[in-house]
Amino acid sequence: MNEILITVEELRITSYLFRQESNDDSEYKAFCEGERSVNDIIALLRKWGCRQFTKDDNKRAVQSLNGWLHQNEILLPKENMNLVDTSNKRILSFSDLFDSLMECHTSRSKRFGPVGAAKTLFFLRSRMFPAWDGYINEEQGLSPNGEGYCQFLLRVKDALTKLEKNCSIRNIALKKLPQLLGRKHASLVKLIDEYLYLKVTRGFDPREILKIAKNKKFNNG
């Protein structure tokens, strides 16, 4: 198992860097403050690098997601539910939901796929479903399907549980962490996704920055 271990200090670094890279997360902020319609979701998937969502096939993708929601929205958790508070049994029950979304067509020949499905679920329930990409999936050694994604959810939940202990040492409430980091639009799972994106996909390890800072403090000691 590739355990995900994250500290408050590491999240401070990755959150700051992500804000700089993403123009203060402007696209996602605009989405949160808008209608968050299906069309908005497809447009943001396109902006977030999901190439299967082309402008030419936008109508097909919108119809597919609308159809999927008509059948499955009742199975989604409530919008205010947090991954860290959800039972493992309930988390594992999302496997079929993920698989069905993954198979939805975005065009005649392309489907949502595992990355498109994860990001779509994040946009629909941002406190429950973290996004992932192919690099993160591979690094975690998981199958690119519903079973693998649910295992990923369990690992992110475990990371949040351990992070909560790290927060308590600093007298920080875990659920106040986004606000503390100046990220009131971001959920806890989004902060974890940003950390993994920078560390795994981009190859940036915040621990190296902490080592440099620690050594500099020691040498100047």
Q: Tell me what pLDDT residue 220 has.
A: 53
Please give the DSSP secondary-structure letter assigned to residue 78: P
The answer to whether 124 touches 76, Cβ cutoff 8 Å, is yes
* Closest among 135, 66, 71, 146 to 106, alpha carbons compared: 66
Establish if 127 belongs to a structural domain.
yes
Domain count, the chain: 1
Q: Which residues pair with 111 in a beta bridge?
A: 105
Per-residue pLDDT, 211: 82
Asked, for residue 147, whether it belongs to a domain, the answer is yes
Contact indicator for 152, 167 with CB cutoff of 8 Å: no
Cβ atoms of 209 and 13 closer than 8 Å: yes
Name 63's Cβ contacts closer than 8 Å, sequence gap at least 6. none
Has residue 1 been placed in a domain?
no
Predicted structure pTM score = 0.93
Tens of pLDDT, residue by residue over 114-166, are: 999 999 999 999 999 999 999 999 999 999 999 999 999 999 999 999 999 99
Does 133 reside within a domain?
yes
Give pLDDT, residue 1.
Answer: 57
Amino acid 216 reads K
Determine phi and psi for 170, rounding to 5 degrees.
-100, 10
Query: Taking the alpha carbons of 208, 210, 213, 215 in that order, is the dihedral positive or negative?
Result: negative
Task: Tokens 């069309």: give the residue.
Answer: 39
Q: According to the model, what pLDDT value does residue 216 have?
A: 59
Domain membership of residue 221 (yes or no) is no
pLDDT of 210 reads: 86
Using the 8-state DSSP alphabet, how is residue 187 labeled? -
Q: What is the pLDDT along the chain (221 residues), one digit of tens a residue?
A: 588 999 999 999 999 999 999 999 999 999 999 999 999 999 999 999 999 999 999 999 999 999 999 999 999 999 999 999 999 999 999 999 999 999 999 998 999 999 999 999 999 999 999 999 999 999 999 999 999 999 999 999 999 999 999 999 999 999 999 999 999 999 999 999 999 999 999 999 998 888 886 765 545 55
**Residue range of the domain that includes 47:** 8-216
Contact yes or no for 65/116 (Cβ under 8 A): no
In a domain, 45, yes or no: yes
Buried b / exposed e along 44-70 (16+ C-beta atoms within 10 A) = bbbebebebbeeebbebbbebbeebbe
Let me know how long the chain is: 221
DSSP annotation of 86 reads S
pLDDT at 218: 44
Would you say residue 111 lies in a domain? yes
For residue 206, being part of any structural domain is answered with: yes
**Alpha-helix runs per DSSP H in the chain:** 8-21, 26-33, 38-47, 58-72, 88-92, 95-102, 113-124, 134-140, 146-169, 177-180, 188-196, 206-219
pLDDT of residue 209: 84
Cβ-contact 66, 38 below 8 angstroms: yes
